[in-house]
Amino acid sequence: MTKYLRKCTVCGKYTILKEICPYCSNPTRIPHPAKFSLTDNYGVYRRKLKRIEEKSS
């Protein structure tokens, strides 16, 4: 259930499944973005690897 919970970035109210806040029409986000930061980490590693490859060539 909590994975559907989203929080408004502006008024801080919680909503379920809505990407736009029903109170103030601003975008909402997932309050605990653990899985999303994982994909960000992979992007960081990929960029680091690319930089190393550029240096060695």
Instruction: Please report, as ranges, the residues that interact with Zn ion according to CB under 5 A.
Output: 8, 10-11, 21, 23-24
- Least separation, in Å, of the C-beta of 6 and Zn ion? 10
Identify which of residues 26 and 49 has a Cβ nearer to Zn ion in the complex: 26
Identify which of residues 24 and 52 has a Cβ nearer to Zn ion in the complex: 24
Question: Which amino acid, 11?
Answer: C
Maximal CA-CA distance, the chain? 54
Identify which of residues 19 and 53 has a Cβ nearer to Zn ion in the complex: 19
Q: Is 35 exposed, middle or buried (0-12, 13-18, 19+ CB in 10 A)?
A: exposed
